[in-house]
Amino acid sequence: MPDADPAAIRGDLTENVDAAQALTENVDAAQALTEIVGAAHTLTEPDVVGGYAVDWTGRWRGAPLAVVRPADTGQVAAVVTACAAAGVPVVPQGGNTGLVGGAVPVDGSVPLSLRRLDSRGPVDAATRTAAFGAGVPLAEAQRHVAADGWEIGVDLAARDTATIGGLVATNAGGERVIRHGLTRGQVAGIEAVLADGSVVRRMTGLLKDNVGYDLGQLLIGSEGTLGVVTAVRLRVVPAAARRAVALVGCGSVAGAVDVLAGLRPRLDAGPGELVAAEMFVDDGLALVREHTGLGAPLPDPHPAYLLVETTGGPDDALPEALAEALEATEGVRDAVVADEPARRAALWEYRERHTEAVAADGTRRGAPPVKLDVSLPPASLGPVVDDVRGVLSSAYPDAVLYLWGHLAEGNLHLNVLGVDPADERAATDLVLRTVAAAGGSIGAEHGIGRAKVPWVGLSRSPAELAAMRAVKSALDPARLLNPGVLFD
Ligand SMILES: Cc1cc2nc3c(=O)[nH]c(=O)nc-3n(C[C@H](O)[C@H](O)[C@H](O)COP(=O)(O)OP(=O)(O)OC[C@H]3O[C@@H](n4cnc5c(N)ncnc54)[C@H](O)[C@@H]3O)c2cc1C
């Protein structure tokens, strides 16, 4: 992406001071925003605004003043400046695939849709980075770099809609963390608009650039509460020439943890690299099959399933190596290995379609699932799953728990259905306290959003929370950027 001239950005801001003034003087707010982004991109009609006002789960919704769709960083800065002048809250929104209500407008706020920031820069082979506008969907960024033989170290099932800005704002994890780390590890530069409308920009891609506080890193995972990410320079890695996927039947969740522990050193010793290790269980698989019509992956059902993917060079004997490693690993009850793209994709579907299958089940039951994304030391996963099932079923006999996750990181997605809406908060409390008591974190990769604000104290000390509030107060003293997210 070409570097924007900061003076030009300031120029845009100056030009839009009138718009800010208009908001301040309580002239029609939508009119003021229209002057910045144009009438076609200031949305107020309820049926158009609706899609921006409710989250992917259907659990969170708000009544925005107007949805604003800026075209570039200058317009983002102008909108933020205008809203700051008028005291109107701004809610950054990317693909709106977040699962914790973080991108949903509070009443009277301006959801700032970043999707029109869709620039894509060339891959710089020297720094192995490429710059993207914040609104580029992950899948498009993946296709863009794949054309030159590269891939991005983050991948997740919401790839067609989740944006690069959203991934950065949530520090998304996904299916490649075991190999490349979280989104934070893929970020080589950020441009963002702060709460006062100023633009901070560090997009050079310099690999060593330590001059004081790293504002870009501070913005990663800040969920739109400290600034609006407008562009990101992402690291890229050489695309794998070959891939092999195995779906493994295991005796239990703890059994899947043991299988992965046994498998990993064997795979490390062979060709290729382990890039994914995912887990799901029998009732979740049954729900996915019912929802999708997919056939059974293995001849017999198993209590738990491990899905692993390895990648390697063109001549690597990946499927053979994977099959041999599985044969030598204790606890493997059955396995199927695929290297042909369609078969690999078919195996991944069993894992990736859990989220939509559970959402559909929620719709059928008349209430969306309570979605809790937690992490635990891998060795505790089995016992904690048993404990969570126990506490839930004794308090709520009709509760149904679907779970799956990213096994190597001990990251579980716990989805609770069948609890009366009046009891959802208490059920959440039970589950999150069980996780925290076992040394886990209440927020693994989806963020805190609005959904988990009451429980942040389970995973952060008073001193940590005070420091976080001080950062928030310093960068957004009027608390206009995504109010209600992270902090109450
Ligand atoms: C089917 C499915 C599978 C998923 N799988 C995973 C997974 O494996 N791993 C994972 O981590 N997540 C996963 N998610 C959750 C979601 O896709 C991620 O949180 C993703 O990073 C959100 O991106 P988005 O563009 O949709 O952001 P949004 O939902 O629009 O926003 C999410 C948060 O980021 C803020 N934000 C968005 N854009 C910006 C910006 N440009 N500047 C500042 N703040 C911004 C919002 O205010 C909000 O707080 C999944 C979701 C679905 C529906």
Query: How many whole angstroms from 350 Cα to the centroid of ligand 1?
Result: 22
The set of residues, in sequence order, having a beta carbon less than 8 Å from that of 208 and lying 6+ positions away, is none
Inter-residue contact 280 to 404 (CB < 8 Å): yes
Query: How many whole angstroms from 445 Cα to the centroid of ligand 1?
Result: 9
Could you tell me how far CA 141 lies from the centroid of its own chain?
A: 15
Whose Cα sits closest to atom 53 in ligand 1? 97
* Residue to mutate, 99, 100, 191, ligand 1, most ligand atoms under 8 Å from C-beta: 99
pLDDT at 6 over 60: no
Q: What is the DSSP letter of 304?
A: E
pLDDT at 461 over 90: yes
Which run of H or E residues covers position 235? Answer: strand 227-238
Query: How many whole angstroms from 227 Cα to the centroid of ligand 1?
Result: 15
Gap between the Cα atoms of 475 and 258, Å rounded: 45
The set of residues, in sequence order, having a beta carbon less than 8 Å from that of 77 and lying 6+ positions away, is 9, 12, 13, 193, 197, 198, 199
Query: How many whole angstroms from 257 Cα to the centroid of ligand 1?
Result: 27
Which residues, judged by CB distance below 6 Å to any ligand atom, belong to the binding site of ligand 1? 56, 91-99, 102-103, 114, 134, 156-158, 162-163, 165-167, 169-170, 172-174, 223-224, 228-229, 355, 445-446, 449, 482, 485
pLDDT at 7 over 70: no
* Residue to mutate, 170, 171, 481, ligand 1, most ligand atoms under 8 Å from C-beta: 170
Inter-residue contact 305 to 331 (CB < 8 Å): no
pLDDT in tens, 311-343: 999 989 999 999 999 999 999 999 999 999 999
Inter-residue contact 129 to 203 (CB < 8 Å): no
200: β partners: 192
Looking at residue 28, its pLDDT comes to 63
pLDDT in tens, 73-117: 999 999 999 999 999 999 999 999 999 999 999 999 999 999 999
Tokens 């899947």 found at: 256
User: What's the whole-number average pLDDT of the chain?
Assistant: 93
Looking at residue 56, its pLDDT comes to 94
pLDDT at 17 over 70: no
Q: Which atom of ligand 1 is nearest to the CA of 157?
A: 3
The set of residues, in sequence order, having a beta carbon less than 8 Å from that of 330 and lying 6+ positions away, is 258, 259, 262
End-to-end Cα spacing for the chain: 37
Whose Cα sits closest to atom 9 in ligand 1? 174
Query: How many whole angstroms from 416 Cα to the centroid of ligand 1?
Result: 20
Binning pLDDT at 50, 70 and 90, where does residue 141 land? very high
Looking at residue 16, its pLDDT comes to 45
Gap between the Cα atoms of 43 and 65, Å rounded: 9
Q: What is the DSSP letter of 221?
A: T
Bigger pLDDT: 205 vs 434: 434
Which run of H or E residues covers position 400? Answer: strand 400-406
Structure tokens at 400: 């149904």
Structure tokens at 376: 């635990």
**Residue 419 burial class via C-beta count within 10 angstroms: exposed 0-12, middle 13-18, buried 19 and up:** buried
| DSSP track, 306-347 | EEEEEEE-TT--HHHHHHHHHHTSTT--EEEEE-SHHHHHHH
Which among 94, 148, 158 has a CA at the least distance from the CA of 121?
A: 148
Inter-residue contact 79 to 37 (CB < 8 Å): yes
Query: How many whole angstroms from 397 Cα to the centroid of ligand 1?
Result: 32
